A and B are shown apart, each in its own frame.
Chain A
Amino acid sequence: MNRNVLTIVVGAVLVVIFALLLFVFQVRQSEVAVVTTFGKPSTQPYDKPGAYFKWPWPIQKVYKFDGRIQNFEDKFNETLTADQNNLITTVYVGWQITNSPAFLNHFRDGSVPAAQTMLESMLRSANIAVVGKHPLSDFVNADPKALKFDAIENEIEQQVQNDLRTNDCGIQLEFLGLKRFGLPESVTQTVFDRMKNERQVLINKEQYEGEAQAQKIKAAADRQAAETIADAEADATRIRGQGEAEAAKMLPVFQQNPELANFLLRIDALQQSLNQKSTLIFDERTPPFDLFSRLPTNSPPQHE
């Protein structure tokens, strides 16, 4: 009796566990699930984590997909820009399954590679359409206002987003960006040649400008130095003029007796001029040698 109760309890627990395994399934945080009833997907997506009820196989079947953002990038796309430049671009996207029933409907068994193939072709056509609308100057430009980098990315993203919506494949883009853009291999060589020329121009410019600048500074320095000296000489002349003006004030002193002044000046002049290395020739009339003429001599001129 009691033993029977125990058996029944244990049996019941086992049945409950078995039933739970059959009738309940878990959806993880990272997953989205869809339940099919006799192969027909439910309309309700199971995109929140938790435990859910289902009828056991073969009535209902559970498909689980990775509900996280998946990184994907397309291959090289060579596209003509609006101004006939060949541009090679690669775009990266983050995409996510947002509607699992639609995803399962659209791709057999919810195949991710199939979804990626579709995404790639959508990216390619969007790329061609958008890049073809823009000249190269929209991609690279020093003027931030003229650069349309973000706008181009947005346009591509919009177009792909629209395509995805029209197709109703349960996928949504989370983000999209240009991963790289380049030029065809043959073009890089011409770019190199142009860069080389530009560098050469730059080298010459640096040389000539440098020389000109240095020359300018030196010339300015020379001029300034000359000006400084000229100013100083002007000042010197003015200073000497001051001296003469002061001297002029003393003129009345000498004017008391110009004769004496004249006499003194002549004596000074004489003294200065006969300083050295000079030869003087006198005759008897020059004082003080006139004394000689009055001396008695041996000659007999008086007797005649």
Chain B
Amino acid sequence: MSDDQEHHDHGHPVPPVTADDTGSQALAEALRSSFAIVKVAMLLMVLAFFGSGFFQVGPQEKAVILRLGRPVGEGKNILLGPGLHWSFPYPIDEVVKIPITEIQKVSSSVGWYATTPEQELSGEELPAGPSLNPAVDGYAITADRNIIHTRATLYYHINDPRRAVFDFSSGTNLTYSLAGVSNAVQNALNNALIYTAAHFNVDDVLLLHVNDFRDAVLERVSDLADQEQLGIGIDNCEVESVPPRQLREIFAQVTTARENRIKALQDALSYENQKTNSAGAQATTIIAAAEAARNRYVESLSAEAKRFSDLLPKYESNPSLFAQQTLVPAMGQMLTNVQDKIYLSERVDGQPRELRLMLNREPPQPKTAANP
């Protein structure tokens, strides 16, 4: 600008008069205007240069600025979230975009028989052959050398994005993604599955200690993640284990047998309960009856004793009269109760009368084999 100003100032004190001067003046005018165009173009280029530093980050991705190859920021701050950002243009800064979601998920790739999620959903899995082909069918071997199928899904998040993005290769030199760390996590998960299965007996994995098995898998994955410095935090782990399809039926039978055993045990316990209770009740009844009998006996005897004491003076004053006085009313009372009364009068000749009785109250039993 100042150059142009000076140029103008120099031009005015010496006004051109000749035709030559007119030509050079026209040339100068042309140069001036073309310089102006160049200036505008340069301004635009400068603007474009800095404007090219603006970039946008989408919702499912993050970005990292590499300044002379080194990530800008520390720890989690190296990740730029969705929105508009600015960086110096290449070659000073380089923007690297990485697809990252909050929660990462990875599934084990060993331990399960050959199937696809679609086949599983539609229930059209290929039928199990008599044996397992190691090239297609995955499985794990348990501590008691049984074969089981087991698979796990791990949910984790990236704690150290610098480690995850810049220390694990995603295949090609120029791309940056979480594929490398995800692959490493998957291998750790695979290792954890077969490692843990090798510690557990088949029944523990499938039935008795399912949760312990899952916790052990989780622990192993965490250990490996620490050892291998994967820079991840584990959120959750789901583990599913089944017996080989070839033996599904007999495994089910074992379960049934176990359930039957539990049921038999419960039956026995309820029998025990019932038996004990009824015996207890019976015992109480027996004791109560004995107590009642004792009380009755003692009471009646004491009543008896009282009566005896009352009667004793009367008896002692005249035993024979007392006997008569007591016996006769008693006889009267007895005779009213008696059904048949037969009186034998004295024979004329004074001899005792002979009386024959046919005692046949019960009919004679017929002779049988059991009763000869």
Binds B, one of A37-45, A99-107, A123-131, A261-269: A261-269
Asked if B344 contacts A283 (CB within 8 A), the reply is yes
Contact A278 B70 (CB under 8 A): no
Decide if A199 touches B353 in the complex (CB within 8 Å): no
If A30-B176, A270-B334 touch, does A140 touch B145 (CB 8 Å cutoff)?
yes
Complex CA distance for A275 and B334, rounded to whole angstroms? 7
Q: Which residues of B sit under 8 angstroms from A287, Cβ to Cβ?
A: 324, 327-328, 331
> In the docked arrangement, what's the CA distance between A247 and B299, Å?
9
Using known A-B contacts A184-B134, A189-B130, A196-B247, determine if residue A175 contacts B275 with beta carbons closer than 8 Å. Answer: no
Set of chain B residues within 8 Å of A277, measured between Cβ atoms: 339
* CB neighbours of A28 from chain B (8 A): 66, 69, 94
Distance in Å: Cβ of A280 to nearest Cβ of chain B: 5
How far, in angstroms, from A3 to B39 measured CA to CA in the complex? 13
Least CB separation from B275: chain A residue: A221
Also in contact, A71 and B283, with CB within 8 A (given A177-B188, A185-B134, A260-B308): no
**A70, A188, A277: which has the most chain B beta carbons within 10 Å?**
A188
Distance between Cα atoms of A221 and B267 in the complex (Å): 12
B247 pairs with A68, CB closer than 8 A: no
A7 → chain B, closest Cβ, in Å?
A: 12
Among candidates A70, A206, A221, residue contacting B257 with C-beta atoms closer than 8 Å: A206
Residue pair A232, B326 in contact (C-beta under 8 Å): no
How many residues of A sit at the interface, in one of the four size bands?
A: 35 or more
Contact present for B279 and A225 (CB under 8 Å): yes
CA distance A140 to B139 in the complex (A): 14
State the CA gap A277–B361 with chains docked (Å).
Answer: 11
With A191-B145, A250-B302, A279-B342 as contacts: A180 and B194 at CB distance below 8 Å: yes
A304 CB, nearest partner CB in chain B, Å: 10
Chain B interface residues toward A at CB < 8 A: 3, 6, 66, 68-71, 91, 94, 110-111, 130-135, 138-147, 162, 165-169, 172-173, 176, 180, 183-184, 187-188, 190-191, 194-195, 197-202, 224, 227-228, 244, 246-247, 250-251, 253-254, 257-258, 260-262, 264-265, 267-269, 271-272, 275-276, 278-280, 282-284, 286-287, 289-291, 293-295, 297-298, 301-302, 304-305, 307-309, 311-312, 315-316, 319, 323-324, 326-328, 330-335, 337-346, 348-350, 352-353, 355
